Amino acid sequence: MEMELELLRDSVPMVSLAAAAAALYARVASSLLRPGLPRLLALLPLFPFLAAAPLAFTSSAIARGTAAFFLAWLCAFKLALLAAGRGPLDPALPVLPFLFTALLPVKLRRAGSAGASKGSPLPSLCSCAAKVAVIAAILRVYQYNARLHLYARRALYGVHIYCFLDLFFPCIAMAAGALGMETEPQFDRPYLASSLRDFWGRRWNLMVSAILRPSVYDPVRARAGNPAGVLATFLVSGLMHEGMVYYLSLRRPDGRMTAFFLLHGVCCVAEGWCARRWAARGLPSPPRAVATVLVVVFVAGTSFWLFFPPLCKDGVEEKLLEEWAAVAAFFLDAGRKISHVVSSRATN
């Protein structure tokens, strides 16, 4: 594992510098060329690089998957939108905000937008501390993973993914804030969603929604209507998740991720149809508490059935657990060293 950490430390600066150079090239090229075919042709060579760059992390599935999400998915879609003169990237942005927006899962908040005022940091600190504690507890439970029921393990994975992402993204936002940039939140308490449309469109991983909406949903809806736009968006999301499975496992995906997202897309369309019919007939909506429980149960049940199995086969589950154990050991060791230094200085 020490050798793998050494390889990871070598890969991070190399990939980061190469990705920054690619983003700077995109900024310069898009500032010189008008949106459309000329800009697209100039940016086209970057897409193979973005797809290949995560594979530099040969020793870590977690690092490979994270880099794939940042570069092969989000950055590639942002550059495609930039080629069309749309999306969050703008060649007029200063260099640092452009790099942050292109390479990281952040969306800069525009001045004067709703909710632009800064809230108290105390709830965020409490939330982060709670998520750290939950992740620490889950990592301890992973030691007994073989004894846990299959669905109990997958429930833990779901909580772990949410806590990790909702901790990781605010850390990136804090770094952006320290550099004078204000970003929009990426999660909004998805466990309180009152419908599937509320869950996917307004609460879960909002950076992905903000990218898929202008790149897939809006153009398809303009040509084929809202249901087609919704289904196309979920289809593309499913295909991109298949790609993430490949980056994590380095094995061909089996299509279950696509099935998961298509199922949710169909259910979102059906949900919207039912909501309109109930409203037209004056029928009351289900109580919010009941709707929230139904959404959580449906998302969890379909995740156990379709989302997690591709991540738990061919040794991927064991590899990920081993890496998380190494991460936990690293932070525990760092904590002991810091405590030892602090106690030594206090004694002296």
Give DSSP secondary structure letters for 173-192.
Answer: HHHHHHTT--B--S---GGG
Tell me how far apart the alpha carbons of residues 81 and 36 are, in angstroms, rounded to a whole number: 10
| Average model confidence (pLDDT) across the chain | 87
pLDDT at 115 over 50: no
Per-residue confidence (pLDDT) for residue 342, from 0 to 100: 59
Q: Which amino acid is at 274?
A: C
**Residue (of 199, 154, 91, 175) closest to 305 by Cα position:** 154
Instruction: Kindly report, residue by residue over 42-98, the tens digit of the pLDDT.
Output: 999 999 999 999 999 988 889 999 999 999 999 999 999 999 999 999 999 999 999
Per-residue confidence (pLDDT) for residue 120, from 0 to 100: 42
Per-residue confidence (pLDDT) for residue 55, from 0 to 100: 93
**Residue (of 156, 203, 207) closest to 183 by Cα position:** 207
234 and 100 in contact (C-beta within 8 Å)? Answer: no
More confident residue, 123 or 60: 60
Instruction: Kindly report, residue by residue over 202-235, the tens digit of the pLDDT.
Output: 999 999 999 999 999 999 999 999 999 999 999 9
Instruction: Kindly report, residue by residue over 313-331, the tens digit of the pLDDT.
Output: 878 888 888 888 877 776 6
Tell me how far apart the alpha carbons of residues 256 and 307 are, in angstroms, rounded to a whole number: 7
Question: pTM for this one?
Answer: 0.87
Tell me how far apart the alpha carbons of residues 243 and 69 are, in angstroms, rounded to a whole number: 9
Instruction: Kindly report, residue by residue over 148-182, the tens digit of the pLDDT.
Output: 888 899 999 999 999 988 888 888 888 888 877 87
Token pair belonging to 237: 């999301």
218 and 39 in contact (C-beta within 8 Å)? Answer: no
Per-residue confidence (pLDDT) for residue 13, from 0 to 100: 85
Give DSSP secondary structure letters for 282-315.
Answer: TPPPPPHHHHHHHHHHHHHHHIIIIISGGGSSTT
220 and 237 in contact (C-beta within 8 Å)? Answer: no
**Residue (of 114, 105, 69, 108) closest to 90 by Cα position:** 108
Residue linked to tokens 């898929």: 212
Of the spans 27-31, 151-155, 250-254, 325-329, which averages the highest pLDDT? 27-31
DSSP state of 44: T
DSSP state of 108: B
264 and 200 in contact (C-beta within 8 Å)? Answer: yes
Dihedral angle of Cα 139, 142, 148, 149, to the nearest 10 degrees: 70
